[in-house]
C-alpha cells in the first residue's frame, strides 16, 4: 500500500520519514507542495467522490483516497508575496479538507484539536485529563505576575501561541519595569529536573531521557545526554487516550521529571519534528508510523 | 490597569454592523456593552492555573465576532504578537465560566465550521449530498454545471480564469432557499415557505450543535424536484443583514443568554 508524504521537499523531518520508511520497504510517494503550487491541481471533497490529481515537476499523480498519508502541511502564505501567498493558502486549505475525508489512515488528520496553539487552554485541557501540569499565569497585570512568581520562586516565560520562542527563567524582580502594553505574558512554574520526550504513534510509545544544564535542551549549542528510557504504564495509557481524544495519531510529548520522580507535562506537540529523536532510536518512530499507515 | 465594568464585552472589528446594532439594542434594554479589539481584551485577561483549578478574570460575558487575522504582508513581530493576543483570548473564552457566544472550543474560534461546504456537511451529517472540488487550472468533470467561487475573495465566478484558485460544487436546481438563525436550542426562520413535514428548525439546531456552534446561520437549498433540503451554508458569525427579518427575536435571545 502506498504512503503519500505531503509537505516540503526541504523539510528535514519529512525527508527523514521518506528515507527511513523506504529503507524499511515502504512504498512512499512525495507530494512536494513547492512543486504542486507551481502547476495545476484538483482535490475532491470528500476524497472518495472523484479523482484528485496533483502535478509535481511535470508528473501527474492521482491520489488514492484509500492510501496512507503522512502529512506535514506548512502554510507559507505569510512569507510569500501576492499572488503566490493567496495561491499557497488556497492549496493548504484544499489539502486540509481533502485529508480530513480520505478513507485511509492519516498522520495527522486535519480537523484534530488545535489547542497546542493556545497554551493556557492546552495546559488546562491536559490538567483535566489527569496530567500533572506546572502552575501557570497569563496576564498583563504586573502585580498578579509578581505575586505568582513570589509564590513559585522561579518561572519560565513561554510563547502563548504555537510558535516556538526562547524560554527564559524569570523571577518577580524580572517584572519590576513591566508595563501592561508589553503583555500578555505566559509564565509557568519552573520545574527542576531532567527532560523526557515521548513520541506516541497509536498505541506505540517511544521515550527518551535528556539530561542537560540548559533551560531548553533544544537550543543551539547546548550540551545534552540522550538515552532511551521507559515511562510508567499509567502515564503511557494516559498519553494514548489523550492523543486519541485530540484526534492525533502521532504526538510528541514533553515532560520534566523532578527529584521525586514526578512527571510534569509541559505540552503535547501535534506535528512533532521528530527526526533527531528517530536517528537516536534507530528509526523506531518512523517504523511505528509506517505500521500505522499500512495496516 | 483599567478593568471593564460593562456587563458584556463584544470582541469584534470596528466595522462590524452586527455589533453596532446589538450594542444599541442592549443599551435600550438597560444592559451595558463594550466593544473592544483583540489586543485590548488580551491585556485585560488574567488566567491562573494551579493543578486542576483555573480562574479567569474579568468575569464578564463575551460576544465573540469574526476577526481579521493580521495582514500576511505585515512584519514578523506583528504577526507573532497577534498570535499571542489570539491565543490568550481563545483560551480565556473557552475556559471562563461566564456566558460566551460563540464559545470557542479545542478546535478554534469557529469550532468545527470549516471553509469547505462539503466538509461542513461531512462534519454535520457524516455524509455529503454533493461533492466539492478545490482546484487550479485542472477543472473537475462537468464544471460547466457547477457553481464556482474564487478562493482569494469568496466571490462567485462564472468562468474561472487561468491561475485562479477555485472551489466548485454542483447543487440541485432549487426552487428557493431557507435560512435559519440558531441560538442554542432556539431557531428563528427567516422565511415562512412551506417545507411540508420537514422540520427546518430542529434540523438547523442539530446541524449547529454538531459543528460545536451555539449561534449560527444555517442556510438550506430547497430542491425544485421536492427532494429533501440540502445544507448550503453555515456561518458561525451571523451578520446583521442575515438577521434583519428576525432581529428583535435574535437580539432578545442573545441578551437573555449574555445578561441573564
From B137's Cα to the closest Cα of chain A, the distance in A is 5
Chain B residues in contact with A97 (beta carbon < 8 A): 114-116, 118-119, 132, 134
* Cα end-to-end span (Å), chain B: 28
- Per-residue cell: A130: 489527569
* pLDDT score at B117: 86
Yes or no: say if A273 and A201 are a contact pair by the CB < 8 Å rule. no
Three-state SS for A255? strand
Chain B residues in contact with A125 (beta carbon < 8 A): 106
Q: Which residue from A94, A115, A160 is facing B88, i.e. has the nearest CB?
A: A160
* pLDDT score at A217: 80
Chain A residues in contact with B141 (beta carbon < 8 A): 50
Q: Does B165 touch chain A (CB under 8 A)?
A: yes
Kindly compute the dihedral angle of the four CA atoms of residues A151, A156, A162, A163, in this order, to the nearest 10 degrees: 150
Across the interface, whether the CB atoms of A120 and B87 are under 8 A apart is answered yes
A222-244: burial string, b at 16+ Cβ within 10 Å, e else = eeeebeeeebeeebbebbbebbe
How many CB atoms neighbour CB B183 within 10 A? 23
Across the interface, whether the CB atoms of B43 and A140 are under 8 A apart is answered yes
Across the interface, whether the CB atoms of B92 and A87 are under 8 A apart is answered no
Return d(Cα B6, Cα B41) in angstroms, integer: 13
Q: Looking at chain A, which residue has its C-alpha nearest residue B112?
A: A111
Q: Is the dihedral of CA A77, A82, A86, A92 positive or negative?
A: negative
- Per-residue cell: A161: 501561541
Place of cell 430542491: B223
Give the pLDDT means over successive 10-residue stretches in chain B (260 positions). Answer: 85 97 97 96 96 94 92 78 95 97 90 82 84 94 91 90 94 87 96 82 95 94 86 92 96 96
Yes or no: say if A78 and B152 are a contact pair by the CB < 8 Å rule. no
- Per-residue cell: A232: 510508567
Place of cell 488546562: A124
Q: Looking at chain A, which residue has its C-alpha nearest residue B72?
A: A78
Chain centroid, CA A39 distance in Å: 29
From B92's Cα to the closest Cα of chain A, the distance in A is 8
Yes or no: say if A226 and A160 are a contact pair by the CB < 8 Å rule. no
* pLDDT score at A171: 96
User: Number of CB pairs < 8 Å for A and B?
Assistant: 199
Strand locations in chain B (E):
8-11, 33-36, 46-50, 53-57, 61-64, 100-101, 132-136, 147-150, 156-157, 166-169, 174-183, 186-189, 215-223, 230-235
Q: Which residue from B84, B106, B140 is facing A50, i.e. has the nearest CB?
A: B140
Per-residue pLDDT of chain A (295 residues; tens, 9 = 90+): 899 999 999 999 999 999 999 999 999 999 999 999 988 999 999 999 999 999 876 688 999 999 999 999 998 988 888 888 889 999 999 999 999 999 999 999 998 899 999 999 999 999 999 999 999 999 999 999 999 999 999 999 999 997 777 778 999 999 999 999 999 999 999 999 999 999 999 999 999 999 988 778 877 778 889 999 999 999 999 999 999 999 999 999 999 999 999 999 999 999 999 999 999 999 999 999 999 999 8
Q: Does B244 touch chain A (CB under 8 A)?
A: no
Q: Does B196 touch chain A (CB under 8 A)?
A: no
Q: Does B134 touch chain A (CB under 8 A)?
A: yes
B18-52: burial string, b at 16+ Cβ within 10 Å, e else = bbeebbebbeeeebebbbbebbbbbbbbbbbbbee
**Integer CA distances (angstroms), A42 to A9, A91, A278, B130, B161, in order:** 20, 9, 34, 16, 15
Q: Which residue from A81, A180, A246 is facing B43, i.e. has the nearest CB?
A: A180
Q: Looking at chain A, which residue has its C-alpha nearest residue B74?
A: A78
* pLDDT score at B1: 65
Q: Looking at chain B, which residue has its C-alpha nearest residue A125?
A: B106
Q: Which residue from A80, A90, A101 is facing B165, i.e. has the nearest CB?
A: A90
Chain B residues in contact with A183 (beta carbon < 8 A): 42-43
Return d(Cα A157, Cα A190) in angstroms, integer: 9
Across the interface, whether the CB atoms of A183 and B43 are under 8 A apart is answered yes
Chain centroid, CA A289 distance in Å: 14
Q: Does B140 touch chain A (CB under 8 A)?
A: yes
Across the interface, whether the CB atoms of B140 and A82 are under 8 A apart is answered no
* pLDDT score at B72: 62
Q: Looking at chain A, which residue has its C-alpha nearest residue B168?
A: A44
Across the interface, whether the CB atoms of A97 and B115 are under 8 A apart is answered yes
Q: Which of B62, B102, B127 is nearest to B212 (CA)?
A: B102
* pLDDT score at A57: 65
Across the interface, whether the CB atoms of A124 and B95 are under 8 A apart is answered yes
Across the interface, whether the CB atoms of A46 and B88 are under 8 A apart is answered no
Q: Looking at chain B, which residue has its C-alpha nearest residue A47?
A: B131
Q: Does B1 touch chain A (CB under 8 A)?
A: yes
Yes or no: say if B227 and B233 are a contact pair by the CB < 8 Å rule. no
Amino acid at each position: 500500500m502506498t504512503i503519500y508524504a505531503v509537505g516540503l521537499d526541504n523539510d528535514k523531518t519529512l525527508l527523514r520519514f521518506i528515507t527511513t520508511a523506504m529503507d524499511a520497504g515502504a512504498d512512499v510517494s512525495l507530494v512536494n507542495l513547492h512543486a504542486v503550487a507551481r502547476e495545476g491541481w484538483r482535490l475532491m471533497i470528500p476524497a472518495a467522490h472523484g479523482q484528485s490529481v496533483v502535478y509535481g515537476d511535470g508528473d501527474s499523480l492521482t491520489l488514492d483516497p484509500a492510501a496512507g498519508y503522512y502529512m506535514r502541511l506548512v502554510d507559507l502564505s505569510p512569507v510569500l508575496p501576492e499572488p503566490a501567498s493567496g495561491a499557497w493558502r488556497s492549496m493548504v486549505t484544499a489539502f486540509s479538507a481533502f485529508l480530513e475525508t480520505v478513507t485511509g489512515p492519516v498522520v495527522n488528520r486535519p480537523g484534530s484539536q488545535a489547542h497546542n496553539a493556545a497554551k493556557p487552554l492546552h495546559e488546562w485541557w491536559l490538567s483535566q485529563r489527569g496530567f500533572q501540569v506546572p502552575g501557570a499565569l497569563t496576564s498583563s497585570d504586573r502585580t498578579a505576575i509578581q505575586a505568582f512568581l513570589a509564590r513559585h520562586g522561579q518561572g519560565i516565560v513561554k510563547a502563548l501561541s504555537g510558535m516556538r520562542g526562547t524560554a527564559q527563567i524569570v523571577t518577580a524582580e524580572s517584572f519590576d519595569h513591566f508595563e501592561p502594553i508589553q503583555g500578555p505574558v505566559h509564565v509557568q512554574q519552573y520545574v527542576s529536573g531532567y527532560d523526557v520526550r515521548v513520541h506516541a504513534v497509536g498505541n506505540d510509545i517511544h521515550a527518551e531521557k535528556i539530561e542537560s544544564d540548559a533551560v531548553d535542551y533544544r537550543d543551539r549549542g547546548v550540551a545534552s545526554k540522550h538515552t532511551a528510557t521507559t515511562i510508567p504504564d499509567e502515564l503511557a495509557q494516559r498519553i494514548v487516550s489523550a492523543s486519541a481524544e485530540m484526534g492525533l495519531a502521532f504526538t510528541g510529548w514533553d515532560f520534566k521529571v523532578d527529584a521525586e520522580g514526578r512527571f510534569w507535562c509541559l505540552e503535547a506537540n501535534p506535528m512533532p519534528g521528530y527526526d533527531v529523536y528517530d536517528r537516536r532510536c534507530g528509526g523506531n518512530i518512523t517504523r511505528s508510523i509506517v505500521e500505522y499507515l499500512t495496516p | 490597569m483599567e478593568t471593564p465594568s460593562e456587563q458584556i464585552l463584544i470582541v469584534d472589528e470596528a466595522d462590524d454592523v452586527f455589533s453596532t446594532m446589538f450594542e444599541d439594542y442592549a443599551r435600550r434594554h438597560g444592559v451595558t456593552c463594550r466593544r473592544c479589539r483583540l489586543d485590548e481584551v488580551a491585556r485585560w485577561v488574567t488566567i491562573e492555573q494551579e493543578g486542576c483549578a483555573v480562574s479567569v478574570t474579568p468575569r464578564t460575558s463575551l460576544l465573540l465576532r469574526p476577526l481579521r487575522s493580521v495582514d500576511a504582508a505585515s512584519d514578523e513581530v506583528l504577526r507573532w504578537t497577534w498570535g499571542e493576543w489570539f491565543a490568550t483570548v481563545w483560551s480565556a473564552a473557552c475556559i471562563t465560566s461566564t456566558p460566551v457566544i460563540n464559545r470557542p472550543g479545542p478546535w478554534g474560534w469557529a469550532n468545527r465550521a470549516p471553509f469547505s461546504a462539503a466538509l461542513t456537511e461531512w462534519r454535520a451529517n457524516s455524509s455529503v449530498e454533493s461533492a466539492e472540488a478545490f482546484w487550479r487550472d485542472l477543472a473537475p468533470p462537468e464544471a460547466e454545471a457547477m457553481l464556482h467561487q474564487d478562493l482569494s475573495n469568496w466571490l462567485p465566478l462564472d468562468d474561472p480564469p487561468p491561475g485562479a484558485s477555485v472551489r466548485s460544487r454542483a447543487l440541485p436546481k432549487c426552487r428557493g432557499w431557507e435560512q435559519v438563525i440558531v441560538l442554542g436550542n432556539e431557531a428563528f426562520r427567516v422565511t415562512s415557505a412551506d417545507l411540508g413535514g420537514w422540520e427546518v428548525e430542529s434540523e438547523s439546531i442539530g446541524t449547529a450543535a454538531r459543528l460545536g456552534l451555539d449561534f449560527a446561520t444555517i442556510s438550506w437549498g430547497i430542491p425544485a424536484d421536492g427532494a429533501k433540503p440540502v445544507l448550503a451554508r453555515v456561518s458561525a458569525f451571523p451578520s446583521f443583514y442575515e438577521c434583519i427579518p428576525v432581529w428583535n427575536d435574535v437580539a432578545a435571545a442573545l441578551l437573555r443568554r449574555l445578561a441573564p
